[in-house]
Amino acid sequence: MSSDLQTENLPIGVVGLGLMGTSIIVSLLAAGHPVIAIAPLPADEAGFESRLMAQLEACREAGILTREPNDYRAMISISEDYTALRNCTLVQECVIEKVAVKAQVYQQITAVVGAETVISSNTSAIPITELQQLVACPERFLGIHWAEPAFATRFLEITCGEKTNPRHAQVIYNMAHLWGKEPTLIKKDIRGFITNRLMYAVYREALFLVGQGLTTLADADKAFRYDAGSWMTLMGLFKRMDYEGLEDHLQTLNSLFPQLSNAAEVPEPMQEMVERHARGTQSRQGLYSYTAESASAWERSFAEFNKAIFHLARRYPGAPAVNPLP
């Protein structure tokens, strides 16, 4: 069974042509899908072409493509008109995290596609169950959450809302393997998905420690970069625990749990920082300061690093353990 054969006849719609949307499109193209790209904002369309070609070129260099970038470019139709989506069996939404905007997008999608077309959101902030209420025939709605850049990461989270038909989730789960992913399937809708939820537990604790003057942002960064980072891509979380020995871990878990931050609110300095329009690398002032040069060097660094770590993870694929519990 050729995966190419399967995907070639399966056009997928993507609504939202920002950074994330572009890299999702590239990932789908590389897997062989024709893509119907909808630009809800004319502004999206502006930068899209150059982003797309740069990402396709990056894919080619990484050895992910089997044809030339231009051949893939020919597999996209771009439109501002939602009726172009009418033959898609899957439409992926990746517009900004605003419920009102998404509601409007869903309305326009459902107006043109059949009731069996699966509609998915890339949201990382809004529960699927909540978004599902905005969609006619909600049983065909689910979350497909991609990691950035979509074409060069293996991770993909598929999340059901309360009303999602699990059959649809299973179809997408199977299809995700054709996209070169290691998907996870979350049968119940949880607030924040797995990675985000785990990472925000880290951020809560880190912001607490920084707020107490016990450490600095820079030292927390060093800790994750050089310590956790040195095993995570191989071991994940619980295989690490097994490797280090459960007994020691249990002792530490018992002594640390009562000491961890239980804060329900984001610390003041972080709130202030954002209010002062410190937006991050893009505006050159975030938690760190950047110059125009350092910000673009950082961008290039990440693009290169990302390729390297993708290949590294590919060289160390299956962990040899069997029968994970539970």
Binding to a copy of itself (CB under 8 A) within 274-303 occurs at 274, 278-282, 286-291, 293-295, 297-298, 301-302
Q: Which residues contact 187 (CB under 8 A, 6 or more apart)?
A: 160, 166, 169
CB of 253 to a copy of itself, least distance (A): 5
Q: Which window, 39-47, 69-77, 85-93, 306-314, contacts a copy of itself (CB under 8 A)? A: 306-314
Q: Of 66, 107, 170, 233, which one interacts with a copy of itself (CB under 8 A)?
A: 233
* Residue 79 binds a copy of itself (CB under 8 A): no
245 contributes a contact to a copy of itself by CB under 8 A: yes
Question: Using the rule CB under 8 A, is 5 a contact of a copy of itself?
Answer: no
198 binding a copy of itself? (CB under 8 A):
yes
Among 72, 128, 157, 164, binds a copy of itself (CB under 8 A): 157
Centroid of chain to Cα 81: 26
Comparison of 49 and 182: residue with beta carbon closer to a copy of itself: 182
Question: Closest separation between CB of residue 150 and a copy of itself, Å?
Answer: 11
- Separation CA 162–CA 116 (nearest Å): 18
What whole-number distance in Å separates Cα of residue 111 and Cα of residue 107?
6
Q: Are 12 and 41 spatial neighbours (Cβ–Cβ below 8 Å)? A: no
CA distances from 253 to 65, 214, 264 (A): 45, 20, 21
**Stretch of 29-37, 79-87, 100-108, 198-206 contacting a copy of itself, by CB under 8 A:** 198-206
**CB 38, CB 80: distance < 8 Å:** yes
Q: Which residue has the tokens 């293996």?
A: 154
Q: Per CB under 8 A, does 196 bind a copy of itself?
A: yes
Letter for the amino acid at 208?
F
CA distance 219 to 290: 18
Q: State yes or no: residue 130 binds a copy of itself (CB under 8 A).
A: no
Position 308 contacts a copy of itself (CB under 8 A):
yes
User: Residue 285 and residue 302: Cα distance in Å, rounded?
Assistant: 18
Residue number, 85 or 207, with CB nearest to a copy of itself: 207
Question: What's the CA gap between 262 and 284, in Å, rounded?
Answer: 32
Query: Residue 41, interface with a copy of itself (CB under 8 A)?
Result: no
